[in-house]
Amino acid sequence: MKIKNICCIGAGYVGGPTMSVLALKNPNIKVTVVDINQDRINSWNDENLGDLPIYEPGLEEIVNEARGRNLFFSTDVEKAIDEAEMIFISVNTPTKTYGKGKGMAADLKYIELCARQIAKVATTDKIVVEKSTLPVRTAQAIKDILDNTGNGVKFQILSNPEFLAEGTAVQDLLTPDRVLIGGEESEEGTIAMNSLVEIYATWIPKENILTTNVWSSELSKLVANAFLAQRVSSINAISELCEVTGADVGEVSRAIGMDSRIGPKFLKASVGFGGSCFQKDILNLVYIAKTYGLNEVADYWEQVIIMNDYQKRRFADNIVSTLYNTVSGKKITFLGWAFKKDTNDTRESAAIYVADALMNEQAEIIVYDPKVSEKRIYEDLDYLGSRSPEENRRLLKVVKDPYIASEEAHAIAILTEWDEFIEYDWKKIYDSVVKPAFVFDGRKLLDAELMSKIGFDYSSIGISKTQNK
């Protein structure tokens, strides 16, 4: 079955870039991305490409080429559903903040709303594609809703989880390691899967497009994120051991990464992983395991989160103890707020939790991030609910120039690995800060030897301090 018209519900970090690339590579398919958030849609339609709602290297060029040709952004959800033969659901699936499974399970209310809306509107057969990350067996729930509330038309449900990482979304979409498609094991299921395979095959080699049953596909996404996060927590656990023994975590990573069975990627020690996916998806996995009574399995994976929380706390504690056990009234400059470089996304960023811990100690935080807005930073803090919005604005200020941000600082903390931080005139910064000039590098980004030579008291995740000197 040749697809001519696609609708994607959810114009976020996944829906926007994914559909832009799909439209770019399939000029004969009309792709409409819909969202209930009018501001977001307005930004996607903005003439000024610098104002797209998401910053991703290379995305502006793609939107510029496809938008208005066969790529459209709209708030008319019903019209887009009605016209499409294939509907991607790419809405958010955050951790539940209420009721049963609070703080662990995925909140599926937005998914269910989409399913109900599709059922209500559809007057022709549809292929519904789960693009959002979902607990294993969600396709069953979606099918139940569609079959029981629809207008008698036929639905096929596919699972097609997205593996892009933020900051490299365009590259990941253009040359993915693999595309995963799960479908029903029936003739209709195979036809539906093949129609999606054909769309991807316009730019991805067929051997990289895997087809499986729906449950394996849904579960694989959670497992992929759990394995990736586990590597970060594993190396972060070792970083503390390096700090007390004189080993250098970078050298340990390099040494173990050259073992082809381990591999070199995802072994960078850090202040802790962030992002909208890792924590949410592991908690979801833990919850599913618990639901089936698999307590040892649940505990095993939960430890990845426990280690990550510890790493963030440890970073903040180290700042306080190094600054003579008090940071009250001291100015601490944060370089970076995003959860990783090359994105303006801050969801679950380690910076939020480190700032919160230091503000509890009455530190004064000055933040500079090349891409994150002041509004976003305050929203992140207010969301925690640790103190009043007024207090957050009193204790934390956002500055647009890194050199001004650093003036008179008692310490500089690096929270995101933005490339530009390496290029700064660190001698100039040294001259403008309070002495002793402390730098806490949460990303192992700067040259320890150079920093010490300039005169900084430099400490980095995973390197013992005496080793720098």
Interface positions with ligand NAD (CB under 6 A): 9-15, 34-37, 40, 77, 90-93, 110, 113-114, 132-133, 162, 164, 166, 276-277
Residue nearer to ligand UDX on the CB measure, 211 or 279: 279
Which part of the chain contacts ligand UDX (CB under 6 A), choosing from 158-166, 329-337, 357-365, 450-458? 158-166
Instruction: Show contacts with ligand UDX in window 274-333 (CB under 6 A).
Output: 274-275, 277-278
Q: Which does 37 bind (CB under 5 to 8 A by kind): ligand UDX, ligand NAD, none?
A: ligand NAD
Q: Is 77 annotated as a binding residue?
A: no
- Residues in contact with ligand UDX, counted by CB under 6 A, come to a total of 19
**Binding marks (x or -) toward ligand UDX, 229..248, rule CB under 6 A?**
---x----------------
Cβ atoms of 44 and 34 closer than 8 Å: no
Q: How far apart are CA 339 and CA 275, in angstroms?
A: 6
Which residue(s) pair with 73 in the sheet?
Answer: 33
Which part of the chain contacts ligand UDX (CB under 6 A), choosing from 79-87, 157-165, 318-326, 458-466? 157-165
Q: Which does 273 bind (CB under 5 to 8 A by kind): ligand UDX, ligand NAD, none?
A: ligand UDX
Phi-psi group of 444: left, alpha or beta (phi > 0 → left; psi -120 to 50 → alpha; rest → beta): left
Does residue 26 bind ligand UDX (CB under 6 A)?
no
Q: How far apart are CA 115 and CA 344, in angstroms?
A: 30
Burial environment of residue 81 by CB neighbours within 10 A (0 to 12, 13 to 18, 19 or more): buried
Which amino acid, residue 301? W
Q: Find all residues with CB under 8 Å of 361, minimum gap 6, and list them.
A: 320, 326, 327, 328
Q: Which does 378 bind (CB under 5 to 8 A by kind): ligand NAD, ligand UDX, none?
A: none
Q: How far apart are CA 51 and CA 343, in angstroms?
A: 14
Does residue 368 bind ligand UDX (CB under 6 A)?
no
Q: Is 152 annotated as a binding residue?
A: no
Q: Is 333 annotated as a binding residue?
A: no
Give, in order, the Cα–Cα distances in Å from 387 to each of 23, 362, 394, 469.
45, 11, 11, 40
| Known catalytic membership, residue 277 | yes
CB of 308 to ligand UDX, least distance (A): 9
Q: Is 274 annotated as a binding residue?
A: yes
Residue nearer to ligand UDX on the CB measure, 266 or 430: 266
Q: Output the DSSP codes for 150-217.
A: SSS--EEEEE------TTSHHHHHHS-S-EEEEE-SSHHHHHHHHHHHHHHTTTS-GGGEEEEEHHHH
Burial environment of residue 319 by CB neighbours within 10 A (0 to 12, 13 to 18, 19 or more): buried
Give, in order, the Cα–Cα distances in Å from 130 to each of 17, 142, 225, 440, 448.
16, 9, 17, 42, 46
Cβ atoms of 439 and 456 closer than 8 Å: yes
CB of 94 to ligand NAD, least distance (A): 8
Q: In the 8-state DSSP scheme, what is residue 433? A: S
CA proximity to 15, closest of 3, 28, 32: 32
Question: Which one from 8, 114, 242, 277 is the annotated catalytic residue?
Answer: 277
> Considering only residues 121, 129, 136, 164, which one is a binding residue for ligand UDX as defined by CB under 6 A?
164
Q: Which does 418 bind (CB under 5 to 8 A by kind): ligand UDX, ligand NAD, none?
A: none
Q: Is 212 annotated as a binding residue?
A: no
Which amino acid, residue 27? P
Q: Is 93 annotated as a binding residue?
A: yes
CA proximity to 394, closest of 433, 420, 422, 359: 359
> Considering only residues 225, 333, 346, 459, which one is a binding residue for ligand UDX as defined by CB under 6 A?
225
Q: Which does 11 bind (CB under 5 to 8 A by kind): ligand NAD, ligand UDX, none?
A: ligand NAD
Query: Residue 267 in 3-state DSSP?
Result: coil
Give first-to-last CA distance, the chain, whole Å.
Answer: 67
CB of 109 to ligand NAD, least distance (A): 9
Q: Is 25 annotated as a binding residue?
A: no
Q: Which does 270 bind (CB under 5 to 8 A by kind): ligand NAD, ligand UDX, none?
A: ligand UDX
Q: Which does 395 bind (CB under 5 to 8 A by kind): ligand NAD, ligand UDX, none?
A: none
Does residue 250 bind ligand UDX (CB under 6 A)?
no
Which residue(s) pair with 209 in the sheet?
Answer: 179
Instruction: Report the side by side order of strands in the sheet with 86-89.
Output: 71-74, 30-34, 5-9, 86-89, 126-130, 155-159, 179-183, 209-213
> Considering only residues 30, 96, 268, 410, which one is a binding residue for ligand UDX as defined by CB under 6 A?
268
**Numbered residues of the known binding site for NAD(+):** 10-15, 35, 40, 91-95, 132-133, 166, 277-280, 347
List active site positions.
Answer: 277
Residues that bind ligand UDX (CB under 6 A): 162-166, 225, 228, 232, 266-268, 270, 273-275, 277-278, 339-340
**Numbered residues of the known binding site for substrate:** 162-166, 221-225, 261, 268-274, 339-340, 443
